Structure 1
Amino acid sequence: MKSRNKLKIVNDPVYGFITIPNKLISDLIEHPYFQRLRRISQMGMSYLVYPGAHHTRFHHALGAMFLMRKAVQVLRYKGIEISEKEEEALCIAILLHDIGHGPFSHAMENSIVENVNHEQISLLFMEELNKNFNNRLTLAITIFKDEYDRKFLHQLISSQLDMDRLDYLRRDSFYTGVSEGAVNSERLIAMLNVKNDKLVVEEKGIYSVEKFIIARRLMYWQVYLHKTSLVAEQLLLRMLKRAKELTDNGVELPASKALLFFLKHSITHKTFTKDVLDTFSKLDDYDIVSAMKSWVEEEDFVLKTLAKMILNRDLLKIKMKKKPVTSEKIQKKIQQTMQRYNLSEDEANYFVFTGSIENQAYRMDKETINLLTKSGKVRDVAKASDQVNLKALSEKVIKYYLCYPKRNN
């Protein structure tokens, strides 16, 4: 493919102008694999709750790369040696870290692809691009996989305080209008340092870290785990599962060629070949929306009803509980649904189901966010903080939900 290499500056609504650092990164952005991210929503079904949440994985990837370059600049200023090749590799790794997301970000990996998550698919894309670009992505992949000898570089890409989280919290806050998630990414990056090959935050940045952790917790409850978004995503997953079930039984459903491939084939990580990857790269949100608009005309009650619910935002009732829902209550809702719509129990299970969500804003058991004191000591932020609730935020909170048709009240 002939490279156009015209994209030099992007005007981002969050950070202003983002400069593309070099030709290799510009060519990667121009590649169809990456351009597809323009058609993958960053927040799945959240636009049904927050109408402004129509930003894409493309926005997020560029924003995370912008923050990565800022972080490298700060660390170099503080005497941390980062070579030009390492900087380029960091920019490539963070740029491509989400390239494996499917339609509506998480819908594919939980429905019609078996036991394959977006991180694994991202790595497959990166390895394929590495072949296309004469192995110039090798260092980026090594850092991405945490196989490079300088461990703090991987932490910039994936840790409890990485450029991924710093961008998506601020960006998602901006597009949803939920101001509680507006973290001060510039301040946090300005406080970064490295001690014993580990990423640390200077002690005077403790309050910014506290706000970051609290913002993350609030964004999860208020946005990412919002009950309406939750039930909409569950309906989307069930719609795709029903479509696959019908296809397996010989029903010919209208869908794009790429979507039909995944409906007709059982794809696992072992069978995710180059050809499968190329087909996956042709899938985006529009394939699903287009299919939904056709499926509302199908004979199958389950499929057409699920599609209508999503398109018209006429969703199931969802109730949140502190304790698991009893099997008796679930069975009662299933029986009511079976009788009302003349369904089998298997069909009713598409409309009545339970599950759980969890929120853990900070983990003390896993690669903690560490503060560097003036005396040179390194301490876990939760232990150094005078905010009692930081330790509380490290506790996992689990909530349970029950979904069922509204008319079954």
Structure 2
Amino acid sequence: MKGSKIFLDTVHGYISVPNEYCDKFVDTANFQRLRRIEQLSSRSLYPCARHDRFVHSIGVFHIGERLLDTIKCDGVELDETLKQSFLIACLLHDVGHSPFSHTLESFFGSTSDLFNVYKSNLVENGIEDQSLQALDVTKTDVKQHEIMSALLCVTMYKEAILSLNGDPALVGRMIMGFQYNDDIKSLENSFITLLHGDVIDADKLDYICRDKWSSGYQNNSVDVERIIKSVKLHRNKEGKYSIVYLKNALYDIQSMMDNKNFQNNWVFKHHQVIYEQKIFKDAVEELVKCLGKDVKKEQLFNYRSFFEKTEVCDGIFVYMLSDDDIIHLMKSHHENIPHFSEWFSRSYEYVPIWKTYSELIAILGSDLSDYLLNDVGEVYDKIEDFLRNEYNVKVFTLESTPLMKSVEKGKVYLMYGDDLIVDYTDLGMPKADTTYKNKTFKYVFVEKTLFENTEINRKDIVLKIVDFLNEIKRLH
């Protein structure tokens, strides 16, 4: 490809994107929309964590290109369609993201409904992928934004992808992470995992380091360069391809898991982040009611607005919905959206009784905390009722059990020689913390006004909760 545009990225340095990619993808309205889609939901916790899906997408493209370079350095000849499809998928993998990223993603509707739209568009656009038609999407972990991104690739970007020798159907599979069932497609499956893998992929390699850089938190670093350089496209004796890693990447793979678990535990499940997400989603629900009694949130978050100006209700239209649109609509109806006022001003009306999993244990003691954490919900409900009756305040709980990931067998392989490929789980590496296994951790939020009463303090409330739990435990 002739000529390129240079992007100066604070994480990766100078990134070169071919002019053809810029003309056909980057410099289009839907891709530029990503400048107005915030990447993280944790800015209430880390004020500097302000970056968007646009720069993340450029970063994923850069890492995808580096991964291809590493594989090609081994003398592997790759089909042009495969290479182009992979790079385009890296660039467009988030182009269909919802406003405020994952916080509002579910408002686009169910994955099954969106996937039916995707399959219909495959047929309408003459794109062959018969095996995908029979896929039960409810048995996968695909997200709404991934289906939306794939949908844009087989519709709006179809001709552009074809003009660069890419395969729109393969691009869609790479974005959604849907591998082929046929071993003949093992090469394509290898590249699907390089963008949508279980442990390591171009997407994760960018956001792990980008989120850490922008947030400013300090934890184990990930040597992205070492991981990229360690990637090998291995072909076994039966001719089946798979992605493996050189043995020197072992500890960096472990560091990837540690970083992801750190994010899940201490960032995304922080009480302030969880609370802000809750009140913002409540504010969107209130906004929808303001727009009309018969309006549903799927009308506001209509996937068609990616393609055309779409009417939500009388006088309200949306087009390529972004964060700005949601905020504008909320400001226009702010007098009828109490949760928006609370979110916008950060005048939080509720505070948690305990702020971390560890604090819950410290407050209740090991026996009572085990009793509560192993409960399926009934005891938390009783705590809510107790606090309501005892103090005449509003109370609610928010589940915040961290998802601690570990490398599963058959997902990552290390190369110790041309004929010695070993499963990561057989190498004696420490497994992810199982602290939360079979446990349910919830924050209990109470009205802040409770603590404005000088006769009541947090210690008194905690002691009463302890006595209450001891009593119900004795009765059971």
TM-score normalized by the length of structure 2: 0.70
CA distance in 2, matches of 1:168, 1:112: 23
Offset of residue 330 of structure 1: 2.4
Which segment is superposed worse, 312-321 or 56-65?
312-321
Offset of residue 53 of structure 1: 0.8
CA distance in 1, matches of 2:387, 2:307: 40
Which segment is superposed worse, 109-118 or 376-385?
109-118
Q: Which residue of 2 aligns with 1:326?
A: 380
Q: Which residue of 2 aligns with 1:57?
A: 53
Q: What is the SS of the residue equivalent to 1:183?
A: coil
The answer (yes or no) to whether the contact 1:174–1:182 under 8 Å persists in 2 is no
1:200 to 231, 244, 254: 244
The answer (yes or no) to whether the contact 2:305–2:319 under 8 Å persists in 1 is no
The answer (yes or no) to whether the contact 2:246–2:416 under 8 Å persists in 1 is yes
Query: AA paired with 2:153?
Result: M
CA deviations over 1:278-318 (Å, ceiling 9, x no partner): 657521111222233334323xxxx32x1122111223323
Q: Which residue of 2 aligns with 1:140?
A: 171
Q: Which residue of 2 aligns with 1:286?
A: 324
1:362 to 395, 406, 409: 406
**Change beyond 3 A, Cα 1:395–1:14:** same
Offset of residue 360 of structure 1: 2.1
**Change beyond 3 A, Cα 1:19–1:31:** same
CA deviations over 1:57-99 (Å, ceiling 9, x no partner): 0111000110010110011112332233322211110111111
Query: AA paired with 1:310?
Result: W
Structure number with greater CO (CA < 8 Å, separation at least 6) is: 1
Q: Which residue of 1 aligns with 2:192?
A: 154
CA distance in 1, matches of 2:30, 2:266: 32
Offset of residue 213 of structure 1: 1.4
Q: Which residue of 1 aligns with 2:293?
A: 249
Query: AA paired with 2:69?
Result: Q
Q: Which residue of 2 aligns with 1:69?
A: 65
The answer (yes or no) to whether the contact 2:264–2:402 under 8 Å persists in 1 is no
The answer (yes or no) to whether the contact 1:334–1:352 under 8 Å persists in 2 is no
2:431 to 390, 398, 401: 390
Q: Which runs of 5+ in 1 are unaligned?
A: 251-260, 341-347
The alignment status of 1:189 with 2:186, answered yes or no, reads no
Q: What is the SS of the residue equivalent to 1:47?
A: coil
Query: AA paired with 1:104?
Result: F
**Change beyond 3 A, Cα 1:310–1:275:** closer
1:124 to 151, 155, 158: 151
Query: AA paired with 2:383?
Result: K
Q: Which residue of 2 aligns with 1:344?
A: none
Q: Which residue of 2 aligns with 1:265?
A: 299
Offset of residue 201 of structure 1: 0.9
The answer (yes or no) to whether the contact 2:274–2:398 under 8 Å persists in 1 is no
The alignment status of 1:308 with 2:341, answered yes or no, reads yes
CA RMSD of aligned residues (A): 3.1
Offset of residue 379 of structure 1: 2.3
Offset of residue 127 of structure 1: 1.6
CA distance in 2, matches of 1:208, 1:405: 44
Bigger Rg, which one: 2
Query: AA paired with 2:252?
Result: S
Offset of residue 6 of structure 1: 9.7
Report how many residues are paired: 373
The answer (yes or no) to whether the contact 2:36–2:322 under 8 Å persists in 1 is yes
- The ranges of structure 1 where at least 4 consecutive aligned residues each deviate by more than 6 angstroms after the TM superposition are 274-277
CA distance in 2, matches of 1:72, 1:394: 38
CA deviations over 1:101-131 (Å, ceiling 9, x no partner): 1111023323464555211211112122234
The alignment status of 1:109 with 2:113, answered yes or no, reads no
Matches for 1:74-113 after TM superposition, within 5 Å: 74-111=70-107, 113=109
Offset of residue 275 of structure 1: 7.1
**Change beyond 3 A, Cα 1:142–1:102:** closer
Query: AA paired with 2:396?
Result: V
2:274 to 230, 235, 257: 230
Q: Which residue of 2 aligns with 1:220?
A: 264
CA distance in 1, matches of 2:27, 2:234: 37
CA deviations over 1:255-292 (Å, ceiling 9, x no partner): xxxxxx8648387xxx8557777657521111222233
**Change beyond 3 A, Cα 1:285–1:163:** same
Q: Which residue of 2 aligns with 1:317?
A: 351
The answer (yes or no) to whether the contact 1:41–1:56 under 8 Å persists in 2 is yes
CA distance in 2, matches of 1:357, 1:334: 24
Q: Which residue of 1 aligns with 2:24?
A: 27
Q: What is the SS of the residue equivalent to 1:379?
A: strand
TM-score normalized by the length of structure 1: 0.80
The answer (yes or no) to whether the contact 1:382–1:391 under 8 Å persists in 2 is no
Query: AA paired with 2:39?
Result: Q
Q: What is the SS of the residue equivalent to 2:97?
A: coil
**Change beyond 3 A, Cα 1:362–1:296:** same
CA distance in 2, matches of 1:174, 1:134: 32
CA distance in 2, matches of 1:394, 1:335: 33
Q: Which residue of 2 aligns with 1:257?
A: none
